[in-house]
Chain A
Amino acid sequence: MQALEVTDLTVAYQDKPVLWDIDLDVPEGILMAIVGPNGAGKTTLIKSILGLIKPAAGNVLIYGKSYAAQRHMVGYVPQRGSVDWDFPTSVLDVVMMGRYGELGWFKRPSARDRKLAYDALEKVGMQEYAQRQISQLSGGQQQRTFLARALVQDAKLYFMDEPFQGVDATTERAIIEILQNLREQGKTVIAVHHDLQTVQEYFDWVTLLNVRRIASGPVSEAFSSENLRRAYGGRIAFLKEEKAAGD
């Protein structure tokens, strides 16, 4: 069973296509990077898979069913900049929001949800910040908090929008370890990624995107210099030829 199947997905703002006829087949238990230049539609792809943007056409299946039916299987880490970190709440409270989906409407979080939130904070090394106001966190700590919030969702398939954005090297290592840990538990992680240098080291699958799907598959096949050139045009001088796959 495929973790994610996207067929003929097209998203447009008015008449301007942002994603053009995207097909994706993602098997279970892999770490997949979505890479592409700015404006390639990476965030839009994730948002339309999660039903946050209404596509003009196409179909999305998560473990064979629609997103609405499989919501509980999906975890989501939005871009760190998408929320107001001055919001009056604590780190633990933000993590607890990951439990809200399972709780559904009206029901209040219980002691068990609290415990799960604490455990998740421990996994990302943030337990001592549990009661901290979220605006006092550094970028890396904010990212870990979001990651913990996704962990308490206890999903099978995770979507992460730039989980490494604005974090230091230590945090980046810590986050990738957590992602690899998820993979070892048979979970699937799909992350928007910006650093082409680390794609081969961190991920086992990659999707190259630039409005259209340029390539998608195991890093060893899809992450070729030819595909990168097609995705980025001439703008990848910083990536040495020999670093790309195929050597």
Chain B
Amino acid sequence: MSASTEILLIAFVTATACAIPGVFLVLRQMAMMSDAISHTVLLGIVLGFFVFQDLDSPWLIPAAALMGVVTVFLVELFVNTRLVKEDAAIGIVFPALFSIAVILISRYASGVHLDSDAVLLGQLEFAFFDRTEIFGFDVAHALVVMGIILLLNVLLLLVFYKELKISTFDAGLAAALGFSPVLIHYGLMMMVSITAVGAFDAVGSILVVALMIAPPASAWLFTDRLSQMLIFSVIAAGLSALGGFGMAIFFDTNMGGSMATMCGIIFVISLLIAPNRGLIAVALRRMRQRWEFSQTMLVIHLLNHEDTDREEDECRVDHLWEHLRWQPEFAEQVIRYAEDHGTVRRQRGILNLTDEGRTIAESAMVH
């Protein structure tokens, strides 16, 4: 496997692994909690490093995951006092734990490669040089780690799909039925933490939140079903990895930053083009509704004055705008719209309702 293929693969696996727990974070309105976790896991890594004295120790991942869970626990502890709101609690807990990690690194671990660039932005570009042998194959260490994390996420999702769904939608019912929403909550947070540790190596702590939140948020614009939201999130994540990889090569720049940027670009595109909920679809619908509504006003006006003595005056094409208080151009456009839709007919300067127009006017008046 060439270096660039392998780096692309790592990017792809990292992005998709983040998107899966990300869906539930978005649905539980916990986006900022993932930002907190992706920072505080650093403290777990540092403490784990002090204990095991090895930056490649596999024990650093559970140590970091534990710190993620501690973060959630501390935030909830503050919230439960009812003296601070959740966003404020996150704003207190996460910088506190993160700064302890930063101090510890600069004071005691400055010799090791836990430098601030790597922490903040990741080092996907260099992931290729860190090799592991697995089943006789020589592969990048990061690919193995992220691959296992992705597999674990998929597996847990398949096994606990029903439990995640009910405890996210209706925690009260989930508890009454004997599922433990608390257990599921902390299990999910554990997986978010583990995924964050893995992704941290690739894209750095600042940008993990982009991989976790933007693809699910994009996916939600396209669907009303949880299963589809998961699939679309993975697709959006995959596209972000691919696009980010291309962007990093084209501009010869940082891979993590490019991937996160691509997540944002994909979200903005989704926001524009999503059917039904997208901004373009909404604007088009509003426009159509405006024309339809104006047409309804027109046909009601015609119906009201049909066969009256004032019909000649009220229903004249060139005076209509005065009666309806419309701009002349707008009145002309509405009339043309109505003619195109077969609801009115022009006859010697007078507008007449067609049968269809009469039906629309009559049914509109009933309401």
If A78-B172, A84-B169 touch, whether A101 touches B229 (CB-CB below 8 Å) is no
If A103-B162, A109-B162 touch, whether A89 touches B176 (CB-CB below 8 Å) is no
Residues 137-173 of chain A, each 1 if its beta carbon lies under 8 Å from chain B, else 0: 0000000000001000000000000000000000000
Q: How distant is the Cα of A80 from the Cα of B144 in the complex, in angstroms?
A: 46
Which residues does chain B contribute within 8 Å of A105, judged by CB atoms?
163, 179
CB nearest neighbor in A for B175:
A52
Which residues does chain B contribute within 8 Å of A149, judged by CB atoms?
173
Is B136's CB within 8 Å of the partner chain A?
no
Those of A73-104 within 8 Å (CB) of chain B = 74, 76, 78, 82-84, 87-90, 93-94, 97, 100-101, 103-104
Which residues does chain A contribute within 8 Å of B228, judged by CB atoms?
88
Q: How distant is the Cα of A97 from the Cα of B159 in the complex, in angstroms?
A: 16
Shortest Cβ gap from A107 to chain B (Å): 8
The total of chain B residues at the interface (CB under 8 A) is 26
Q: Is the CB of B224 within 8 A of A100?
A: no
Q: Is the CB of A100 within 8 A of B170?
A: no
Is A106's CB within 8 Å of the partner chain B?
yes
Is A183's CB within 8 Å of the partner chain B?
no
Which residues does chain A contribute within 8 Å of B128, judged by CB atoms?
none
Q: How distant is the Cα of A76 from the Cα of B175 in the complex, in angstroms?
A: 11
Is B168's CB within 8 Å of the partner chain A?
yes
Is A47's CB within 8 Å of the partner chain B?
yes
Q: Is the CB of B168 within 8 A of A87?
A: yes
Q: How distant is the Cα of A108 from the Cα of B177 in the complex, in angstroms?
A: 15
The main secondary structure of chain B at its interface with chain A is helix
Is A71's CB within 8 Å of the partner chain B?
yes
If A78-B172, A83-B169, A100-B166 touch, whether A88 touches B224 (CB-CB below 8 Å) is yes
Q: Is the CB of B172 within 8 A of A82?
A: yes
Is B281's CB within 8 Å of the partner chain A?
no
Q: Is the CB of A88 within 8 A of B220?
A: yes
If A83-B169, A87-B27 touch, whether A76 touches B220 (CB-CB below 8 Å) is no
Is B165's CB within 8 Å of the partner chain A?
yes
Q: Is the CB of A87 within 8 A of B169?
A: yes
Which residues does chain B contribute within 8 Å of A76, judged by CB atoms?
172-173, 176
Q: Is the CB of B176 within 8 A of A83?
A: no
Is A58's CB within 8 Å of the partner chain B?
no
Is A127's CB within 8 Å of the partner chain B?
no
Which residues does chain B contribute within 8 Å of A74, judged by CB atoms?
176
Those of B126-159 within 8 Å (CB) of chain A = 159
Q: Is the CB of B172 within 8 A of A52?
A: yes
Is B254's CB within 8 Å of the partner chain A?
no
If A94-B169, A100-B162, A109-B162 touch, whether A50 touches B226 (CB-CB below 8 Å) is no
Which residues does chain B contribute within 8 Å of A52, judged by CB atoms?
172, 175-176
Shortest Cβ gap from B235 to chain A (Å): 16
Is A133's CB within 8 Å of the partner chain B?
yes
Q: Is the CB of B177 within 8 A of A100?
A: yes
Q: Is the CB of B229 within 8 A of A88?
A: yes
Which residues does chain B contribute within 8 Å of A88, judged by CB atoms?
27, 220, 223-226, 228-229
If A71-B178, A100-B166, A101-B178 touch, whether A89 touches B172 (CB-CB below 8 Å) is no
Is A51's CB within 8 Å of the partner chain B?
yes
**Further 12 A-B residue pairs, CB within 8 A, beyond A52-B175, A104-B178:** A74-B176, A76-B176, A78-B173, A82-B172, A87-B168, A87-B226, A88-B220, A94-B169, A100-B177, A101-B177, A103-B162, A133-B224
14 cross-chain CB contacts under 8 A: A68-B178, A71-B178, A78-B170, A78-B172, A78-B173, A82-B170, A87-B169, A88-B223, A89-B226, A94-B169, A97-B165, A100-B179, A106-B159, A149-B173
Chain A positions within 8 Å of B, measured between CB atoms, are 47, 50-52, 68, 71, 74, 76, 78, 82-84, 87-90, 93-94, 97, 100-101, 103-109, 133, 135, 149
The 3 residue pairs across chains A and B that have the minimum distance between CB atoms: A101-B177, A133-B224, A76-B176
